[in-house]
Amino acid sequence: MSDSKPIFGFWVYLMTDCVLFATLFATYAVLHNNTYGGPPASELFSLPFVLIETLILLTSSFTAGLALLAARRSNKTQVITWLAITFILGAAFLGMELNEFANLVHEGNSWQRSGFLSAFFTLVATHGLHISIGLLWLIALVVQIVRRGFTKSTVQRLTMFGLFWHFLDIVWIFIFTFVYLMGAN
Amino acid sequence: MSSYATGFVLSILFTITPFMVVVNHLMTGWMLIFTLVGFAISQLFVQLIFFLHLGRESKPRWNILVFSFAALVVLIVVIGSLWIMNNLDYNMGGHEMDEYIIKDEGYEKNR
Q: What is the pLDDT of residues B41-59, one digit of tens each?
A: 999 999 999 999 988 877 7
CA angle A90/A92/A97 to nearest 5° reads 95
Residue of B nearest to A10 (CA): B63
Question: Has residue A4 got a pLDDT over 90?
Answer: no
- Residues A179 and A123: beta-carbon distance below 8 Å: yes
ipTM of the complex: 0.91
Domains observed in chain A: 5-21+47-183 (1.20.120.80)
Region at B29 (left for phi over 0; alpha for psi -120 to 50; beta for the rest): left
What distance in Å separates residue A64's CA from the closest CA in chain B?
10
Q: What is the nearest CA distance from B17 to chain A, expressed in angstroms?
A: 11
Set of chain B residues whose Cβ sits within 8 Å of the Cβ of A29:
78, 81-82
pLDDT interval class at B108 (50, 70, 90): low
Within 8 A by CB and 6+ apart from A51, the residues are: B15, B16, B19
Domain boundaries of chain B, sorted by first residue: 1-53, 59-111
Contacts of B63 (CB under 8 A, 6+ apart): A1, A8, A11, B54, B57
CB B78 within 8 A of CB A29: yes
pTM for this prediction:
0.91
Nearest to B21, CA basis, from B11, B12, B31, B7: B31
How does pLDDT run across A73-85, given as a tens digit for each residue? 999 999 999 999 9
